[in-house]
Amino acid sequence: MEIAVSREVSFRRLASGSYWRVALVATAAVLSVPVLVIVASLLQPYSSAWQHLADTVLGDYLTNSALLMLGVGVGTFLLGVSAAWLTAMCEFPGRRFFTWALLLPMAIPAYIIAYTYTGLLDFGGPVQSALRDTFGWGYGDYYFPEIRSLGGAICMLSLVLYPYVYLLVRVAFLEQSTAVLEASRSLGKTPWQTLFQVALPMARPAIVAGLSLALMETLADYGTVEYFGVSAFTTGIFRTWYGLGELGTAAQLSAVLLLFVFVLIVLERWSRRRMRFHHHAAQAEPSRIQLSGVRAALAFGLALTIFSFGFLLPAGQLSVWVVGSWQSGASENFLNLVVNSFALAAVAALACLALALLLGYGKRLHPGSVEQGAVRISSMGYAVPGTVIAVGVLIPFAWLDTAIDDLARQWFNVSTGLLLSGTLFALVFAYVVRFLSVSLQSVEAGLAKIRPSIDESARSLGRSPGGVLRDIHLPMLRGSLLTALLLVFVDVLKELPTTLILRPFNFNTLAVRTYELASDERLAEAALPALAIVAIGLLPVILLTRSITRETPTDEGTGVG
Amino acid sequence: MAEPLQLNNVSVRYGDFTAVIEVSLRLEAGHIGCLLGPSGCGKTTLLRAIAGFEPLAAGSISLGERQISDPGQLVPTEQRNVGMVFQDFALFPHLSIAGNVGFGLSGMDRAEREQRISAMLELVSLEGTQSAYPHELSGGQQQRVALARALAPGPELLLMDEPFSSLDRDLREQLAVEVREVLKRAGVTAILVSHDQQEAFTLSDQVTVINAGRVAQTDTPYALYHNPADRFVAEFIGQGSIISVNADTQGKLSHGLGTLTPEQLSNYGQSNLGLLVRPDDIKYSARSEVQLKVLSRAFRGANFMYELALPNGQAVSCLTPSHVNVAAGELLPVQFDLQHLVLFEAEG
Amino acid sequence: MHPRTTRTWRNTLRLIAATCLLTGTALSQAAELNIYSARQEALIKPLLDRYSEETGVTINLVTGKGDALLTRLKSEGRNSPADVLITTDAGRLYRAQEAGVLQAVSSDTLNTTIPAHLRSADGYWYGLSVRARGIIYAPDRVKPEELSTYEDLADPKWKGRICIRSSGNIYNQSLIASMLSTQGEEKTAAWLDGFVPNFARPPVGGDRDQIKAVAAGQCDVAVANSYYLGGMLNSSDEEQRAAAESVAIFWPNQDDRGTHVNISGAGVTASASNVEDAIKLIEFLTSEASQQWYGATNNEYPVRTGVPASETLQAWGEFKTDQVNMAELGRLNAASVMAMDRANWK
């Protein structure tokens, strides 16, 4: 009798466990379709366009993209890590303010910061005009760095992407056991040596996660490089598609880009195969390094500089433009745009979060190689330009619609038309494919902090896997979940190309309006919707900061020993 | 290498709360000292003050000739040349064992460094583990790596914060012996924080008992046990109870517990004295006329710990060989064998 | 699959089909037109709204990039809801025609009002407005007599004096396509080899940026679409107005084939469910009133002969336009991109 009962229990556990596995693999498979559609293009015949590209511009694209990634990598690392170190580990006047203010640049889309800096710094802009007026110079009398260049693109992207690094590394710093840092000091290392030899290497997973988000965004960026005339790999993709009319070759180029990203990820994992980074120690209140005098002034100055260039200046320029062109920009359906943008971003963020939980937790339950691989592939979409993802969504959805239509015609002699294509569902699906990586990173990082013994104790007390997630993980993960939600929200709010292709009839967003005006080179009029994006993006950023300014992380899986 | 450690009237304050109050102590070069006390007594704070992680509110700390802390100055930890072993070891998870042990070695060439690392690993009997990572070792091994890492740079002083508390009991006792040997071989001055007297006694030459931020007594383990300076030390160290006794004019105590020396008699008087009775002060003696009622007993394998009632009802403990098997409520024949009487002023 | 499951599935499908059928008939009662437009909303919606008002036909609009809309149209296939595709250049219309997503329609009105070279020969698409690519110059540094043709800009005397946007842009692609069509591949390549080294700076920004650069003195001449200059002249931004007023426009190739022009245009999709109204809409977009509106709002030239251009445009004078058929520009688009790649035009 007893045996029978226990067998039934274990069978039920197994069964509910395998539901998770089935759900995980099925979800990952569906989400992988767009990426696989793109990768599958590699199996298609190779057109002569490849030869042309290889002969002429491909080398240029590769070099520029590599330089761009290198530059943005260094830029976001320097800005993100120094901001994180200052606000997490040091005490200086204004630290509390900068803790959240340094996140704000995240709300500004890269192409918009590019417009504003061009407006500020180009020949006719206020900076150069002021220089000429002051010194009586004319054109060619003085050197001024060209903002619309590779270097400029690196600066722009670094300024808006460093918050990813900042956000993740800051948490990592706060969670580092103070004992480990003190051990380093006791072994004769100064605070600076401790930063470089212990704190930074230990924050490596967070740095890598932040950098990979920033670099994948960089690889996918089209707006900035196009406007700055930098021939990067994405420029190549679109040039091949739009200019040469070779969508197949463009998809193949994207697939190559994907493989490149995949290899990078694999290499990084391999390089730290045996190292571990978690350290479950009693969490004391972090003892901040007290800065005073010149050092405090330097810290304040550095934080203020990052904040100014990343947020104050561009937001200020947008405001100036808005004031100058208020009447032409504000139209009666402006509120409609705001509502659309907000609702879409909110729905997509929730969808991403739910799926990230399903995948992240499913992977925790079943850490097999199939599951790992499925999850990895389904979250590759972040590195792909939105337009390409959109095509990857467009093709299978249209195929499915047509197949259903065929069946319907065959069986019932009616046409079902397009059930999914051109709907908000397809659009949200594309967002999920593109941004899942962002929420998954956050959810996985949160889950990793909860020790397996916690799951096991809950399971031993009779909770199902779903019950453990609901009763144990969700409450413990609150901070991570909020971060995931808000990061995707801000990303979708800024998103343009996917929306542009997949949206239903008569559906506009702020990003679309901004783009249409800006692409017609009406920057001043584009400023109002752009500023609205920034303003709406600020709401969650401020919410997010309220959760991160709580000094100790909320997801502490460990008790105080 | 080793230097004596000197603390003069050291106080450490957190806001309004004074965690360490006017502590003075001296630890000779090459000796192992222990800060012993219940949790929250300020012993860890004191250790961190010695390490340089906490500033002093008053007093001074010096290492050899060098003054390293006073309220006006705080030599940064990294310049103190102190080694430290942490409660949770605090090994660097991203570095291999060699990386951990070699972390504090600077100004050495590669060969020298490697030699030093393997010498240190040999010292702690972990030869050949250089390329492993901390999470691949057992708890006891990790603890020895932590020790090797702290000793590698040749510190003038080694600080250990509850170094064995995250290990299980068997391992703890075995390691304590090993660590003492390692420290003695390395000839380092060391100070450890502990709340476990077993560990403290095994490891240390000198133990400082701390109570509520103040030094209660500094002495050898033997002296602490046999000559506790106050009631707190007497009760905190070892087992035993302080019972209330009276003496006659000759100094003879009731129940035949012993006789006071004339000095004791003149110092403490005759009535209402506090007498420390340890379990080993009362011996089982089959033919003894003194028979005490058994209140309770605990079997400990090699011996029994009995809780007995004196005729006036006060409870005392008695350790007997394990073959002495008397049930609760029955009488146990014993003999009092207090080698020297430890007395305290009456309470209240 | 289990037979019961199959039956359930079939029932579900039947239900879906029935629902769709009902809603489908309900929808088709009110006349509706669905538009995919590469022309951005601000430059097309007002006209569509006016059409709705006049005819009672509901219009649904999606805007986007030409090739993206074309891809959407292609993958949606016969079920695509779109009735009309509007693009901002002939090349995309040509591609759409090639991809088989447009259908040939004939309309006497359209055939008589739109010149033959601005529509497809067999009725697949029709031009809506004309955009001319002129040469903008700084009158204080360049005399109009020094300017003659696009070809002349390859002359070494222009070394370091020319601004033009990147070769990724469709306006440049169709300009080069028109050269390939009239001059042939070899001559065009030779011309590019002379032209590209004359650039004052690596190509950055849009057409307005090139005009601003001329005004600022960074270059002496720029190749840009005329409506951008018009837009700057009528801009609310003082800096833009000042820049535009300090430059002048020159119409090249007046002694031979004429200034290069492109069109924005429209075609009826192959999947259109409402062909009749679709044609009526295109006719409406080429009506005199609509044609004037293009000029007034976006400083484009009318496709329809006999419609006066806007005041701004009139001030720039009449000029001869290249009569090459727009389909030819589409056909040669890819070749033009490759030619520019080979000439290292970024």
Predicted-complex ipTM score: 0.78
Return the residue of A nearest to B79 by Cα: A188
Q: Which residue in the set A177, A186, A281 is minimally distant from B77, CB to CB?
A: A186
For A:244-273, CB contacts with C below 8 A are 244-247
Is C334 near chain A, with CB under 8 Å?
Answer: yes
Question: Which DSSP letter does residue B52 get?
Answer: T
Nearest in space to B50 (alpha carbons), one of B16, B21, B84, B1? B84
Decide if A186 and B159 are in contact by the 8 Å CB cutoff. yes
3-state DSSP assignment of residue B292: strand
Residues of chain A with C-beta less than 8 angstroms from the C-beta of B86: 179, 182-183
Q: Are A27 and A359 in contact (CB under 8 A)?
A: yes
Listed in sequence order, the DSSP H helices in A310-451 are 313-324, 326-329, 334-365, 369-378, 386-412, 424-448
For C150-187, the DSSP string reads TGGGGSGGGTT-EE---TTSHHHHHHHHHHHHHH-HHH
Chain A residue closest to B146 (CA)?
A183
Chains B and A touch (3+ CB pairs under 8 A): yes
* Structure token pair of residue A430: 């594309």
Chain C residues inside the 8 Å CB shell of A223? none
Residue of chain B whose Cα is closest to the Cα of A275? B94
Q: Which residues of chain C have pLDDT under 70?
A: 1-30
Which of B77, B88, B133 lies at the smallest CB-CB distance from A276?
B133
User: Would the CB atoms of B90 and A190 count as touching at under 8 Å?
Assistant: no
Bigger pLDDT: A454 vs A31: A31
Q: How many CA atoms lie within 13 A of A546 on its CB side?
A: 8
Separation of alpha carbons C12 and B344, rounded Å: 92
Report pLDDT digits (tens) over B137-150.
988 899 889 989 99
Taking alpha carbons only, the member of B245, B256, B254 closest to residue B282 is B256
Distance of residue A264 Cα from the nearest chain C Cα, in angstroms: 28
Residue B301 phi/psi, 5° resolution? 85, -85
Q: What pLDDT sits at residue C148?
A: 92
In terms of residues, how long is chain A? 561
The CA dihedral of C321, C326, C332, C333, to the nearest 10 degrees, is 90
Question: For residue B77, which residues of chain A lie inside 8 Å, CB to CB?
Answer: 182, 185-186
Provide the sign of the torsion angle of the four alpha carbons A15, A17, A21, A26, taken in this order: positive
Distances (CA, A) of A158 to A173, A439, B232, B348, C208: 21, 21, 63, 73, 27
Interstrand relation of C84-87 and C32-37 (parallel, antiparallel or unpaired):
parallel
C205 Cβ under 8 Å from any chain A Cβ = yes
Reduce the DSSP state of residue C340 to 3 states and report it: helix
Secondary structure (DSSP) of C65-130: -HHHHHHHHHHHGGG---SEEEESSHHHHHHHHHHT-B-----HHHHHHS-GGGB-TTSS-EEEEE
Residue ranges of alpha helices (H) inside B59-138 are: 97-101, 110-123
| Neighboring chain A residues of C170 at a CB cutoff of 8 Å | 242-243
| pLDDT at A100 (0 to 100) | 84
For residues A164 and A78, the answer to whether their CB atoms sit within 8 Å is no
Comparing C292 with A385, which gets the higher pLDDT?
C292
| Interchain CB distance below 8 Å, A402 and C77 | yes
Mind telling me how many Å the CA of B154 is from chain A's nearest CA? Answer: 10
**CB contact (8 A) between residue B104 and residue A185:** no
Nearest CA in chain A to B51: A186
Q: For residue A267, give the DSSP letter.
A: H
Torsion angles phi and psi, residue C199, rounded to 5: -60, 140
Query: Choosing among A187, A189, A288, A558, which should be mutated to test the B contact, i.e. which has the most B CBs within 10 A?
Result: A187
From chain C, pick out residues whose CB is under 8 angstroms from the CB of A393.
none
> How much is the pLDDT for A332?
58
Q: Which residue of A has its CA nearest to C238?
A: A324
Query: In this complex, how many residue pairs, one in chain A and one in chain C, have their CB atoms less than 8 Å apart?
Result: 188
* Sign of the CA dihedral with A292 first, then A293, A297, and A298 last: negative
Contact A275 B93 (CB under 8 A): yes
- Main-chain dihedrals φ then ψ at residue C121, nearest 5 degrees: -60, -35
Contacts of A390 (CB under 8 A, 6+ apart): A430, A497, A498, A500, A501, A502, C68
C-beta atoms of A186 and B87 within 8 A: no
User: B312 by DSSP, 3-state: which?
Assistant: coil
Residue A423: both structure tokens together = 């709907």
- C6, C49, C72, C94: best to mutate for the A interface, most A CBs within 10 A: C72
The pLDDT score that the predictor gives to residue A548 is 56
CB contact under 8 A, C205 and A247: no
Cα–Cα distance, A127 to A133 (Å, whole number):
10
d(CA A368, CA A396): 28
Read off the DSSP letter of residue A198: I
SS (H, E, C) A78-108: HHHHHHHHHHHHEECCCHHHHHHHCCHHHHC
Residues in chain B: 348
Q: Which residues of A touch C231 (CB under 8 A)?
A: 520-522
- Helix H or strand E encompassing C131: strand C126-137
Q: Which pair of structure tokens corresponds to residue A69?
A: 């990634």
Q: Is B107 left (phi over 0), alpha (psi -120 to 50) or beta?
A: left
CA atoms of A90 and A136, how far apart (whole Å): 45
Residue C202 is encoded by which pair of tokens?
A: 């690596």
**A501/C206 Cβ within 8 A:** no
Contact C341 A52 (CB under 8 A): yes
User: Among candidates A510, A429, A492, A241, which has minimal Cα distance to C65?
Assistant: A241
Q: What is the pLDDT of residue C251?
A: 95
Q: Give the minimum alpha-carbon distance from A330 to chain C in angstroms, rounded to a whole number.
A: 13
Q: How many CB atoms lie within 10 A of CB A492?
A: 29
Alpha-carbon distances of C212 from A119, A526, B38, B321, C221, rounded to whole Å: 12, 18, 79, 104, 11
A431-450 residues touching C, CB cutoff 8 A: none
pTM, 2 dp:
0.79
Stretch 82-111 of chain A: residues touching chain C, C-beta under 8 Å: none
CA–CA min distance A277, chain B (Å): 5
Closest CA relative to residue C294, chosen from C77, C181, C110, C131: C131
CA dihedral of residues B279, B282, B285, B286 (deg, nearest 10): -70
- pLDDT value for C18: 46
Tell me phi and psi for residue A120, to 5 degrees. Answer: -75, -40
- Binary contact (C168, A506; C-beta < 8 A): no
Query: Quick check: helix, strand or coil at residue C147?
Result: coil
Q: For each of chain B's 348 residues, which pLDDT tens digit applies?
A: 578 999 999 999 988 899 999 999 999 999 999 999 998 899 999 998 998 888 899 999 999 888 999 998 888 888 888 888 888 888 888 889 998 998 888 788 899 999 999 999 998 889 999 999 888 898 889 988 998 999 898 888 999 988 888 777 777 888 888 889 989 988 889 999 998 888 889 899 999 999 999 999 999 999 998 889 888 998 888 888 888 888 888 888 877 788 888 888 888 887 788 888 888 888 888 888 888 999 998 988 888 999 999 888 888 889 888 888 888 889 999 988 887 888 887 664
pLDDT tens, A495-518? 888 888 888 988 889 988 888 887
H/E stretch holding A263? helix A247-271
Instruction: Name every chain A residue with its beta carbon within 8 A of the beta carbon of C218.
Output: 123, 139
Contact (CB<8Å) A182/B51:
yes
The Cα–Cα gap between A213 and A32 comes to: 19
Which chain B residues are within 8 Å of A202, Cβ to Cβ? 92-94
pLDDT at position A517 is 82
Query: What is the reported pLDDT for C259?
Result: 94
Contact: A414, C338; criterion CB under 8 Å: no
Write out pLDDT tens, residues A522-548. Answer: 777 888 888 898 888 888 777 766 665
User: Chain A window 363-382: which residues touch C at a Cβ cutoff of 8 Å?
Assistant: none
Question: A506 and C80: CB-CB below 8 Å?
Answer: no
pLDDT at site C30: 61
* Closest Cα in chain A, distance from residue B346 (Å): 39
pLDDT tier, A175 (very low <50, low <70, confident <90, very high otherwise): confident
